[in-house]
Amino acid sequence: MNEYQVQKKLDYTARFRKVLSELPNFCALYFRAVEPTTSVLTRYGYAVDLRTFFRFLTSGQIDRFADKEITKLTLSDMELLSSLDIELYLEYISLYRDDSSEKEKIVENNERAKSRKLSAIRALFKFLYKKSMISTNCAALVDTPKLHEKAIVRLEANEVADLLDTAEQGNGMTTIQRRYHDATKVRDVAILSLFLGTGIRISELVGIDLSDIDFSKNEFVVTRKGGNQMTLAFGPEVASALSEYLEVRNTIIPLPGHETALFLSMQRKRITPRAVENLVKKYAQIATPLKKITPHKLRSTYGTMLYLESGDIYLVADVLGHKDVNTTRKHYAAITEEKSRQAARYIKLREENPEQVDLLPPHSES
């Protein structure tokens, strides 16, 4: 791991430990058991979801837990829980007012978010039941919220070109946006090219160091989810965009602690995921205003283009870093659409012939 990745892991470890201190004591046993097979980011996410669940239980929504503090909840209390309690929780988090912090906010969860939160509860109860710490596993009786398939949003070939042209030329920008464009356009084209030419995740992009790139082989090293490192290749267009950016990058003196970062912000710090999301959104709103394009949608675009060219779903899964090829099959939605368009172009209902015979009799006056 490079310095950025080490610091990121330290930050999430601190956050995880803070949330863990707010949970019942038996949760520590669970997280200790899953530590060897999960990343700290995964454990942090599950801890936050469990905290939301326990806050619901002790908020007065469930009478028998109304006088309890979260940290004082016991395994005996877990025995009192029913599947109905968990179903009430899932119904509650569809839309609720969160006043747990200084700034009150309205929180809304769709089916996918509720499914993820249910997974956290199920995993905890499965562990407790397996270790004979509770006698029943009520969470296993709760149905997973029905997930509705979302349409795959990706860029067409012409839209990819439009997006890169917009970043390069600045067409359609506001006066304020143009003020900063000259200073960032080379970097931004390199970032967009890397997304579209390799399909990497936003977390992988911001973590790239200068030393991770090898132009002699047109390769670079990324750290995948879970901490595994992988070497990816890039094509001539990406190499050209990166080379042009490196000429600019070499003229910038980064702030202390950010010397190794490939992509820098205008403040001379390692660029953040939020900044990358904003720059993608800025250019996409101009180039493809009818599509909500994010870094992840650029990744989907790459996956679809790679499959259309190679026809190898396993290659796509490997390059994208999917552990399960079924995750990759979502690209079929876009591919099927493309093949449908191809089929439509093959069929001609009428020949385009200016000398075509008129099948109707001529109109005659009576």
334 and 206, same domain (yes or no): yes
Q: Is 311 helix (H, G, I), strand (E, B) or coil?
A: coil
CATH code of the domain in which 235 resides: 1.10.443.10
206 and 341, same domain (yes or no): yes
Handedness of CA 6, 8, 11, 17 (dihedral sign): negative
pTM of the model: 0.74
User: Could you report the per-residue pLDDT of 17-36, keeping only the tens digit for each?
Assistant: 999 999 999 999 999 999 99
- Identify the band that residue 361 occupies on the pLDDT scale cut at 50, 70 and 90: very low
The answer to the question of residue 97 being in a domain is yes
Mean pLDDT throughout 48-73?
Answer: 92
The answer to the question of residue 192 being in a domain is yes
The strand pairing partners of 108, in sequence order, are 95
Structure tokens at 226: 């879970």
Domain that holds residue 190: 157-346
Q: How far apart are CA 232 and CA 37, in angstroms?
A: 25
The answer to the question of residue 179 being in a domain is yes
223 and 330, same domain (yes or no): yes
User: Could you report the per-residue pLDDT of 246-302, keeping only the tens digit for each?
Assistant: 999 999 999 999 999 999 999 999 999 999 999 999 999 999 999 999 999 998 888
Q: Is the pLDDT of residue 354 over 60?
A: no
Q: Is the pLDDT of residue 355 over 70?
A: no
183 and 298, same domain (yes or no): yes
Structurally, the chain folds into a number of domains equal to: 2
Percentage of the chain beyond pLDDT 90 is 61
93 and 178, same domain (yes or no): no
Structure tokens at 322: 């999917």
189 and 332, same domain (yes or no): yes
The answer to the question of residue 148 being in a domain is no
170 and 221, same domain (yes or no): yes
Q: Which of residues 343 and 300 earns the better pLDDT score?
A: 300
Per the CB < 8 A criterion, the answer to whether 129 and 311 are in contact is no
CATH code of the domain in which 62 resides: 1.10.150.130
Q: How far apart are CA 198 and CA 204, in angstroms?
A: 11
The answer to the question of residue 151 being in a domain is no
In whole numbers, what is the pLDDT of the chain averaged over residues? 87
25 and 133, same domain (yes or no): yes
Per the CB < 8 A criterion, the answer to whether 183 and 266 are in contact is yes
